[in-house]
Structure 1
Amino acid sequence: MSTIKVLVWNEGVHERTQSEIAEIYPDGIHGAIASGLAELLGSAVTVQTAVLSDPEHGLSADVLEQTDVLLWWGHIAHDEVSDEVVERVRQRVLGGMGLLVLHSGHFSKIFTRLLGTTCSLAWRNDGERELVWTAAGRHPIAEGVDHPIIIDKQEMYGEPFDIPTPDDVVFISSFSGGEVFRSGVTFTRGRGRIFYFSPGDQEYPVYFHPQVRRVLANGVRWAAEPALAAPNAMPTVSNPERGWFEKQPHRS
């Protein structure tokens, strides 16, 4: 199997401006995610990182052409991401690049544009326990994952989650306050596979959790399959307004 070329993208704002976040993630959230992928996938992957402040946000056309799977973490700087770069990423996803959208990335420009809905949800940050239950045990992303994953402290995300009907609901989370959330869902857009996974707030060391790292590693392998199947056949979209799918209308 070909080596999977992975790019972990992160705003990198919290770690640069908040000392308490930098103490949790001294190498950045992107560094923690990248180290987990390298640890679990070894020689099967090459892992690079990029942040918002890089030229072209680290997402130039050349970089994206060499990327099989992009992981996206954003929170407080969604609006600072260039629309031109977002469209560039979108076209690559439609052409077959895998995309993993993490935690607050549900509000990122790339995720909302690909899904065509607000992607809004309920939330509360009281540092409570999250149980991540496997809802699709036969899905490759769930392979070798504890049932449930126990996360001692995490921000609560809850329903309703304004997304189109997923291809698969792989994980469902429950919280101490009684809320539930579709915390691991998949979509297909064009030739590209998308996996959204919610556990991973900047205030908690969730990206060092062994089971969360396992989910992300599984997600990378799953999302990479279209890119590896035809690495030299990723056409761009002739009509960027419509892409290769009908956009779902926003729901109230």
Structure 2
Amino acid sequence: MTDSTSTSTAPIRVTVWGENRHEQINPVVRGIYPEGMHTTIADGIRGLLGDEATVTTRVLDDPEHGMTEETLAATDVLLWWGHTAHEEVTDEVVERIQRHVLEGMGIIVLHSGHHSKIFRRLMGTTCSLRWRNDGSDRELVWTVSPRHPIAEGVPQPLVIPGQEMYGEFFDIPDPDELIFLSTFTGGEVFRSGITYRRGYGRVFYFSPGDEVYPVYHNPGVQRVIANGVRWARPTRERESYLVTPMYLPGEFDRPVLTDENGGLIDYYTREPVAVRGEGAAS
């Protein structure tokens, strides 16, 4: 296998996951997102990417939270919005999602998803931050990496008239890339758009999106998310990240595994491999 970028023209397979609890119990949220926040986020991606993406949605109360093995295997980029029910997501599902990220699936975590089990698992920290939600904050999202593909076409600054304040210190590992930095009316700053690589997968966290404000109707926010989907898309076929292959003496670039009978097979092709000196071609 090579590290070359995929030239596939197949649509990006996107799954938008929403907790879908606030929409059921809060009339303000239901008024802003009558079909659910996940539907608005999905519609924004469809509107900007068109035939470039196929977009489906899943919610917390679906069987296995909608995160079945079959769904994740058919997902190139997963978007995650959660807030009040993080602990209801089972550890089995979190481990399943983490495995798919490590094997190459992209993931975009939105707003209060910073405290989700999957984001904390991927970061290895508490992911805690400062916050204030008094209805009076304006957020300015400043692009600090203008040549990054996620920033393409995003207003400078991106103005969000009403939003929950998120501020530093944000307990995360140092990001691979800082794309957006937000400022608020109280003078706070926040690393609002950051990326990581985890295993073979790409991770993008974008903070704007409290449920009581129409943030996901904002065209600039929709542009950031659509760009994030393009960026997080896998660039090669997914492959196992959890198996540690073995290398034979002198075979520096040919990983092998053992099969159920104790024989050797090629790590990539799963074809039998003969050891040098056994009289068979390897």
Aligned partner of residue 163 in structure 2, secondary structure: strand
Alignment of 1:68-79 (within 5 A): 68-79=76-87
Shift of 1:222: 0.1
Structure-2 residue corresponding to 1:196: 205
Kept after mapping to 1: 8 A contact 2:178/2:191: yes
Aligned partner of residue 38 in structure 1, secondary structure: helix
What residue identity is the alignment partner of 2:208?
A: P
Larger Rg: 2
Residues 18-61 of structure 1: per-residue CA shift (max 9 Å, x gap): 12211110010000100000000000000000000000000100
Structure-2 residue corresponding to 1:245: none
Separation in structure 2 between the aligned mates of residue 218 and residue 172 of structure 1, nearest angstrom: 17
Corresponding residue to 1:29 among 12, 37, 60: 37
Separation in structure 2 between the aligned mates of residue 183 and residue 129 of structure 1, nearest angstrom: 14
Structure-1 residue corresponding to 2:253: none
Corresponding residue to 1:140 among 149, 154, 160: 149
Q: Does 1:234 align with 2:243?
A: no
Q: How many residues align?
A: 235
Q: Unaligned 5+ residue runs, structure 2?
A: 1-8, 245-282
- Superposed structure 1 runs of 4+ greater than 4 Å apart: none
Aligned partner of residue 181 in structure 1, secondary structure: strand
Shift of 1:238: 4.2
Kept after mapping to 1: 8 A contact 2:181/2:189: yes
Shift of 1:236: 4.7
Separation in structure 1 between the aligned mates of residue 67 and residue 124 of structure 2, nearest angstrom: 22
Separation in structure 2 between the aligned mates of residue 117 and residue 9 of structure 1, nearest angstrom: 22
More helix by share: 1
TM-score, normalized by length of structure 1? 0.92
Separation in structure 2 between the aligned mates of residue 68 and residue 44 of structure 1, nearest angstrom: 12
Structure-2 residue corresponding to 1:83: 91
Separation in structure 2 between the aligned mates of residue 234 and residue 208 of structure 1, nearest angstrom: 36
Separation in structure 2 between the aligned mates of residue 188 and residue 209 of structure 1, nearest angstrom: 27
Shift of 1:65: 0.2
Kept after mapping to 2: 8 A contact 1:92/1:234: no
Kept after mapping to 1: 8 A contact 2:199/2:241: no
Structure-1 residue corresponding to 2:124: 116
Structure-2 residue corresponding to 1:250: none
Alignment of 1:94-173 (within 5 A): 94-127=102-135, 128-173=137-182
Identity of aligned residues (%): 60
Separation in structure 2 between the aligned mates of residue 165 and residue 19 of structure 1, nearest angstrom: 38
Kept after mapping to 1: 8 A contact 2:154/2:220: yes
What residue identity is the alignment partner of 2:97?
A: V
Give the number of the structure with larger relative contact order, counting CA–CA contacts within 8 Å between residues 6 or more apart. Answer: 1
Structure-2 residue corresponding to 1:52: 60
Q: Unaligned 5+ residue runs, structure 1?
A: 240-252
The Cα RMSD (Å) is 1.0
Shift of 1:200: 0.4
Residues 116-142 of structure 1: per-residue CA shift (max 9 Å, x gap): 000000000022100000010010000
Separation in structure 1 between the aligned mates of residue 96 and residue 104 of structure 2, nearest angstrom: 13
